[in-house]
Structure 1
Amino acid sequence: MPSLRVAVVGAGPAGIYASDLLIKSGQDVTIDLIERMPAPFGLIRYGVAPDHPRIKGIITSLHNILDKPQIRLIGNIDVGNDITIDELREYYDAIIFATGATGDRDLTIPGIDLEGSYGAGEFVGFYDGNPDFQRTWDLSAERVAVIGVGNVALDVARILAKTADELHTTEIPDNVYNTLKENQAKEIHIFGRRGPAQAKFTPLELKELDHSDTIEVIVNPEDIDYDDASIATRHESKSQDLVCQTLEAYAMREPKGAPHKLFIHFFESPTEILGTNGHVTGLRTERTQLDGTGNVQTTGTTTDWDIQAVYRAVGYRSTPITGVPFDTTTHTIPNDGAHVTTTDGQPIPALYATGWIKRGPVGLIGNTKSDAKETTTALLNDWNQGHLTPAPNRDPQAIINHLTTNNIPITTWDGWYQLDQQERTLGQQEGRERKKIVEWDEMVRHAHAKALR
C-alpha cells in the first residue's frame, strides 16, 4: 500500500493530538496540518488568558509534535474558500476536521442586543490578540456582570479585575495593554443559576482568582447550599469537592480590603438585561433554589443589579466549513464519533472530525486526546481494510503548487519559528518573554510568506 496521506484541518490541540496519534500508530503516514490562521496552536494561542503560563506551557509539547518530520504545517489557508474540500481530496486519502470553536453561544433573554452586552468569546479574542477580533474595547463600565460559571467566565472576570500593569508582564500586545489601562471596572459580578456543586470551574483556576493583591473574591454565605444530589456530586468528584471547599473558604473569610471586588453569585438566573437609550444599565435575575436532584426551580423573587456591561460566558460554538455538513442546532459537524456523516447519519468516505467541532465545546484541553484516539483509530481501520480510495495526486508538492498557482500565500513551520522569534525579540525589549503580534499581514510578513493577502 502507498504511504497514507492525511490532511488535518486546524492546527490547535485537537488537530495536533490527532496528528501525533497517527504518527505513533506505526502506520506509514505523512500529514499536512492546514491552518486558517498564519500561526499554529489555535485555542492555546487565542483562547487561553495571557496570565495562565502554566496552561500555555502546553505549547512546548505541541511544538515537539510539530517538529516531527512526518508533519508539515500549511498556514494562512481557509479551507472551503481558499481551497475546496473536493480539491483537497485530490491530494489526500483522508481529511480530519479539527477547527474548534470561537463563536459565542446565544443567550435568549430580553436586552441581549443592547450596547454593552457582549459575548465572552469576543472579549477573549480582543485580549488574546486574535486578528479576527477588534483592536479596542469599551471598558468604561464600573460595575460589570459575567453570566456563567465556567473557566471562561473566570478568565473574563479576572482580566477585568486585574490592573493593566499586572498583565503587562504577559504576552499581551500594546493595543490590549493601552486599552486595559483605561479600564474603570471596580466591581465584577459572576452569576450562576445553580449552586456551588454544579459550578464548572476547575479547582486551580478558582483558587488562582484570588492570587492578585488587587482582587477580593466575595461569596455570599447564603449561596453555599447543597441538596442530596449536590452532596453526592461532591462525594463522587474530588475536583468538584475542591471547588466547593474553595467557595466555602471565600464565603467565610474576613475581607482583605483589595480595591477590586469580584462577587460570585449562585442561585441567580439572569432573566433580562435592562437598558436605557439602547445601552446596558442593569441586569435582572430571578432567585432559584435546589429541588433535590441538583437542578433548580424558580422562586419568583427577582433582583435588579446596577450593572453597565454584561458578558455572557455560556459556551462557544463552531463555525460551518463550506462543503461540509453542519448541524445548526448543536453547532457541530454531524458524525458517528469519528466519521463525518450526512444529516441523515450516513458516513461520508474519507472525512473525519475531532475535538470541539465534533462534540461541542465541553471538557478541558486534554479531553481532545481521547477524541483524537477515537477518530484516528477509525481512520486507520478504514485505510488498512481498504475502505479508503487513495488520492489520485500523491506528490507532496502538488498542493503547494496548487496554492501558489492560485496566488494564495502560505505560512510554514519554519515561518512560525521566524514569527516566534520576532515576538520574543519584541518582548525581550520590554523585559517580557514575548509580545504577541496582532495584525494578520504582519504575522504573514514575519513568517516570510511569498505574498500578502
Structure 2
Amino acid sequence: MGACRWTWGVSSWRTFRSLAARRQPAVLLGLGKLLSTAPSTPQVCIVGSGPAGFYTAQHILKHHKQVQVDIYEKLPVPFGLVRFGVAPDHPEVKNVINSFTQTARSGRCAFYGNITVGKDVTLEELQRAYHAVVLSYGAEDNRVLGIPGENLPGVHSARTFVGWYNGLPENQNLEPDLSSETAVILGQGNVALDVARILLTSPDLLKKTDITAHSLEAIAHSKVKRVWLVGRRGPLQVAFTIKELREMINLPGTKPLLYPSDFEGLRDVIKDVPRPRKRLTELLIKSALEKPSEKEAARWVSATREWGLKFLRSPIEVLPSANGKQAAGIRLAVNRLEGSGESVVAVPTGEFEDIECGLILSSIGYKSLPIAPSLPFDAEQGTIPNSMGRVHKVPGLYCSGWVKRGPTGVIITTMNDSFDTAQSMLEDLSSGVVDTSVHKPGFQSLRETLQQRGVRCVSFSDWEKINAAETAKGGEVGKPREKILDLEVMIRLASQ
C-alpha cells in the first residue's frame, strides 16, 4: 500500500517488447530514462481523519481513478469530531462514519493512526514522500477569555468539557465540579447548547448513548439545576441553529428562562432578514412572549431544571471563592448595541451583573495551530492562508476544514468546503501544477523512519479491532459502545 504504480500505454509496452526482442541498446541503456519519465501513481497525503479529511479523500478517490490517498491521524482511532465532538444524544449525526468506513476500506486509501505530524514525522518529510499534501487537522486549541480568574478551578473550555463526556483521551481526567446549582456557559452557539443540554438531560436518557461511563456517573450525581448561556450581543446575533434551539426548548424535565423584554418589538425587525434567521427568531419570540400550550405549561410546572439566555453581557472577571482557590461566580459587563444587522457591535454601558456559580464553561470558539515553522499561517485568525484550498506560495500543499476557513459551520459545510479543496487538487493534477512524472514513494519511504522513532502505526483494520472491543463492551450495558480512553489499551488491542 502506498507503493508506486507505473501506468504505461499499450503502444509503449509493445514498443518496449519489440526493442527488447531485438536486444536494442535503447532498451539496455535507456530503460532507466524510460521509467523515470513514465507517469507514476499520484501519491496524496491527508493530515487529519475528521470529516474534512475523509470528505476530501472521498472526492479525490471518486474523480481520479489512479490516485493513492493516505490519511494520517495523531490518535489510534479515526473520525475526529464525529467521534469526539458530536453530542452523544445525536447518534444520527454519526451515521457519516459508515461512508467514511467505506472510503477507508477502499483499495486506494490507507489509514495511518497514532502518528502526530509535526512530532513523529515532519511536514517537510511528507512533502518529499507525496505529490500533494492536504492539511485537515482541525482546530485543537481554545480561544482564551483574557480575563482575571479564568485559570481558577471550575473554569473550563467547552471544548475540553465536550472531550470529557465524549471520550477524548486527553480530557479523561478533567473532573469538572458539578456541585453548584448554577452553571454559566459563555457563548450562544451550537456547542454551548450541546453542553447545556448534556448538563440538564436525565441520566436515564444519557445511559443509552455512547457517553463515557465516568462522565455519565458524574452527571448522575450532578447538583446543577440551572444553566445560563451568556452572549455579548442580542437575540438576532445568536449562533445556534433552530434545530438545536427546538431540542433545548423541548428537553424533558426542563423549562426555558427567557425575558420578554429581550424580544419585544423583534417581529417588525425580522421581516426582511434571511429565512433561517427569521424562523429562529420567531421560535425565540414564541417561547418568550406567547402563552404555552397546556402540555408545555404542565411540563414547565413540573420541571426540576431550567436554562436561560442572557443577552448583552460580556465576561470581565471570574469571581473567586472566599479562600481564593476556586471559581464562585462571574462578573458580566452590561452592553448596548450599536450599528445594525450582523455587523452590530456590543458597547459597555458601565453597568455590571454578578452571577453566583461554581462551573463556568467558555464556548467562544476553537483555534487551529501551525504544525510546522515553515507553514504559512495567520495566527490571529488561526487559519492557513489559501485560495480555494491551495496554500499560498506552496504548490502541492492544500488545506480543508476548520484550519482552512476557521471553526464555523456544521458537517455539511465541511463536506462542501472539502470537496472544493479536493477539486482544486484534481485540477492541479490534471494541469501539471502538481508534477506526477517524478516518482514519490508515499508511506513506504516513511515506514522504517517511523519504526526507528518508536512509532507504532495503527491501520484501519487495527482500528476495527478497537471498534469491536468498544461495541462489545457497550452492548453489555445497553449502549452502542463504551469508548476506550487509554491510548496504551488502544494500541494493545490494535496489536492483537
On whether the aligned pair clears a TM of 0.5, the verdict is: yes
- Which of 400, 413, 419 is equivalent to 1:367? 413
Taking structure 1 as reference, are residues 406 and 306 closer, same or farther at Cα in structure 2, changes over 3 Å only?
closer
Between the aligned partners of 1:265 and 1:440, the Cα distance in structure 2 is 40
* 2:183 maps to 1:170: no
Residues 255-280 of structure 1, C-alpha deviations (whole Å, 9 max, x = no match):
33311111122222333222231422
Taking structure 1 as reference, are residues 404 and 292 closer, same or farther at Cα in structure 2, changes over 3 Å only?
closer
Q: Which residue of 2 aligns with 1:29?
A: 67
Task: Give the deviation of 1:442 after TM superposition.
Answer: 1.4
* 2:12 maps to 1:7: no
Q: Which residue of 2 aligns with 1:442?
A: 489
Q: Which residue of 1 aligns with 2:276?
A: 239
* 2:318 maps to 1:299: no
Taking structure 1 as reference, are residues 115 and 19 closer, same or farther at Cα in structure 2, changes over 3 Å only?
same
**SS of the residue 1:39 aligns to:** coil
Residues 288-321 of structure 1, C-alpha deviations (whole Å, 9 max, x = no match):
3444503244433322122222111000111321
- Which of 414, 423, 437 is equivalent to 1:377? 423
- Which of 302, 312, 321 is equivalent to 2:362? 312
Taking structure 1 as reference, are residues 103 and 256 closer, same or farther at Cα in structure 2, changes over 3 Å only?
farther
TM-score (structure 2 length as normaliser): 0.84
**SS of the residue 2:302 aligns to:** coil
- Which of 247, 255, 263 is equivalent to 1:208? 247
Between the aligned partners of 2:492 and 2:274, the Cα distance in structure 1 is 48
State the aligned residue count.
442
Between the aligned partners of 1:350 and 1:217, the Cα distance in structure 2 is 51
Q: Please say which of residues 24-33 and 354-363 is displaced more in the overlay.
A: 24-33
* 2:238 maps to 1:199: yes
Between the aligned partners of 1:130 and 1:320, the Cα distance in structure 2 is 21
Between the aligned partners of 2:301 and 2:369, the Cα distance in structure 1 is 44
- Which of 319, 322, 330 is equivalent to 2:372? 322
Q: Which residue of 1 aligns with 2:480?
A: 433
Partner AA of 2:456 in structure 1: P
Partner AA of 2:385 in structure 1: P
Contact 1:79 1:85 in 2 (8 A): yes
Taking structure 1 as reference, are residues 431 and 228 closer, same or farther at Cα in structure 2, changes over 3 Å only?
closer
Between the aligned partners of 2:440 and 2:140, the Cα distance in structure 1 is 33
Matches within 5 A, 1:35-114: 35-114=73-152
Q: Which residue of 2 aligns with 1:128?
A: 166
* 2:387 maps to 1:349: no
**SS of the residue 1:24 aligns to:** helix
Contact 1:216 1:257 in 2 (8 A): no
**SS of the residue 2:422 aligns to:** helix
Residues 300-356 of structure 1, C-alpha deviations (whole Å, 9 max, x = no match):
332212222211100011132134333221122232332223xxxxx1122111110
Q: Which residue of 1 aligns with 2:451?
A: 404
**Unmatched 5+ residue regions in structure 2?**
1-38
**SS of the residue 2:169 aligns to:** coil
Contact 2:131 2:440 in 1 (8 A): no
Between the aligned partners of 1:26 and 1:318, the Cα distance in structure 2 is 30
Contact 1:223 1:267 in 2 (8 A): no
Contact 2:389 2:399 in 1 (8 A): yes
Between the aligned partners of 2:104 and 2:253, the Cα distance in structure 1 is 39
Contact 1:143 1:307 in 2 (8 A): yes
Task: Give the deviation of 1:132 after TM superposition.
Answer: 1.4
**SS of the residue 1:274 aligns to:** strand
Between the aligned partners of 1:108 and 1:230, the Cα distance in structure 2 is 34
Residues 127-171 of structure 1, C-alpha deviations (whole Å, 9 max, x = no match):
111001132332222211101110010011111112333311111
* 2:396 maps to 1:336: no
Taking structure 1 as reference, are residues 71 and 114 closer, same or farther at Cα in structure 2, changes over 3 Å only?
same
Partner AA of 1:394 in structure 2: P
Contact 1:146 1:188 in 2 (8 A): yes
- Which of 272, 288, 304 is equivalent to 1:251? 288
- Which of 155, 159, 179 is equivalent to 2:218? 179
Residues 358-398 of structure 1, C-alpha deviations (whole Å, 9 max, x = no match):
11101111111222233222222222222234464426544
TM-score (structure 1 length as normaliser): 0.91
Q: Which residue of 2 aligns with 1:270?
A: 315
Task: Give the deviation of 1:446 after TM superposition.
Answer: 2.0
Task: Give the deviation of 1:409 after TM superposition.
Answer: 0.6
Between the aligned partners of 2:443 and 2:160, the Cα distance in structure 1 is 37
Partner AA of 1:259 in structure 2: T
Taking structure 1 as reference, are residues 268 and 226 closer, same or farther at Cα in structure 2, changes over 3 Å only?
farther
Between the aligned partners of 2:447 and 2:405, the Cα distance in structure 1 is 31
Identity, % of aligned pairs? 34
Q: Which has the larger radius of gyration?
A: 2
